Amino acid sequence: MKNNSKPLSKIKQLTTNFGIYQHGKLNLPDPEFGYALEDQARALIVAYEFQDKNLEEIYLNYIIRSKRPDGLLYHYYYEDRGFEENNSPGGTISEQEAYGITIWALISTGNFKNRKVKEILEKLKKDALFWTSPRAIATTLLGLVHLPNQDSLEKELTEKLHNLFKSTAQEKWNWFENYLVYANAILPWAMWEVADKRKCVKSLEIAKKTTIFLIENCQIDAIPAPIGNNGWFKKGGEKPIYDQQPIDAAYMVCLLEKAYHATQNQLYLTWAKKWWNWFWGGNIQKKSLIDENLACYDAFTPGEVNLNQGAESNICFLLAYLAAKRLKIVK
């Protein structure tokens, strides 16, 4: 990576005064698909880490504006018809996951003292008690661990992940579910954070087992390989190779950075480097997913690269970039 590169250039291109567009059409923003809540939340984390106050304000204001009459948040905004809820199949789970990412963002960036944000968080935290998505629970925990003291919600959600692991894990399947899908690394990442911030022995034990499980199951001949989204990987089934998405590689870098800093285990550092290099050609296609402007393409598909450059891919790449910098993998 060149020293004179500007990592935020792509998300700035995707961002208007209202928020960050969800999709790109090749290397240009695609306004047709509007804005998504989870993109604003993850982008808020990135803007905060890069200390870009202007971007922070845009993404935070979007989240505040998206408040529904019932106190929860709209999932989408379209320029021709305004805010909309997620009415797609599986919308309940994806809504929970968007809310979890929002809790993570609002607390970890220190915005939880803002009056309007407080109101949103109070409502989301009440709703979180009933969530069934492990990823929503995990991202919520990534936010809650930034509070000075462990509250009752954090204790309950931690226990939920512990129980999911206990009820599912077997000798050769150390995981929270009977399948591996997308954003898997967020689950052990949350366990590492709870173990570190709250000195939770059970979380530490689960974090270690599930991290090794992901390392072993997300590779092909020692080359990092996210679980393909063509059917996902069910226990005892075939492991799909494609499509491979940047969110999975990025979360692996973040997970392994946390695991390494918690333990100084060189295995975690070695694999953090491998997963970072996945973006740059250290993948089964031996192709870079990053262009000359530091923009990230959307996926590896069978035999080629999906050349669209959307919000999720580029925000997650920047999360990986920040983790790689903390590991001194990049300068």
What CA–CA distance (Å, rounded) separates 326 from 254?
A: 10
Contacts 24+ apart (CB under 8 A), 219-225: 220/284, 222/274, 223/274, 223/282, 223/283, 223/284, 224/249, 224/252, 224/271, 224/274, 224/275, 224/277, 224/278, 224/282, 224/283, 225/283, 225/284
Structural domain includes residue 113: yes
Output the pLDDT for position 204.
98
Q: What is the CATH number of the domain that holds 282?
A: 1.50.10.10
Structural domain includes residue 4: no
Low-confidence ranges of the chain (pLDDT < 50): 1-5
Buried/exposed code over 6-18 (b: 16+ C-beta within 10 A; e: otherwise): ebbebbebbbeee
- Sign for the pseudo-dihedral over CA of 218, 324, 142, 49: negative
Output the pLDDT for position 225.
98
Structural domain includes residue 205: yes
The β-bridge partners of 15 are 20
Output the pLDDT for position 5.
47
Structural domain includes residue 273: yes
Output the pLDDT for position 88.
65
Specify burial of residue 256 (Cβ count, 10 A radius: 0-12, 13-18, 19+). buried
Output the pLDDT for position 12.
98
Structural domain includes residue 69: yes
For residue 37, give its domain range. Answer: 9-326
What CA–CA distance (Å, rounded) separates 48 from 50?
A: 5
Structural domain includes residue 202: yes
- The total of structural domains in the chain comes to 1
What CA–CA distance (Å, rounded) separates 11 from 54?
A: 12
What CA–CA distance (Å, rounded) separates 8 from 3?
A: 13
Q: What is the dihedral of CA 120, 61, 76, 289, to 10 degrees?
A: -120
Output the pLDDT for position 2.
44
Output the pLDDT for position 239.
95
Q: What are phi and psi of 305, to 5 degrees?
A: -110, 135
Structural domain includes residue 54: yes
What global pTM score does this model have?
Answer: 0.96
Separation of first and last alpha carbons in the chain: 8
Output the pLDDT for position 85.
87
Q: Are 75 and 36 in contact (CB under 8 A)?
A: yes
Q: Are 154 and 220 in contact (CB under 8 A)?
A: no
Name the residue type at position 329.
Answer: I
Structure tokens at 113: 């003292």
What CA–CA distance (Å, rounded) separates 66 from 153?
A: 24
Phi-psi domain of 158 (left: phi exceeds 0; alpha: psi -120 through 50; beta: other): alpha
Structural domain includes residue 3: no
For residue 142, the SS3 value is: helix
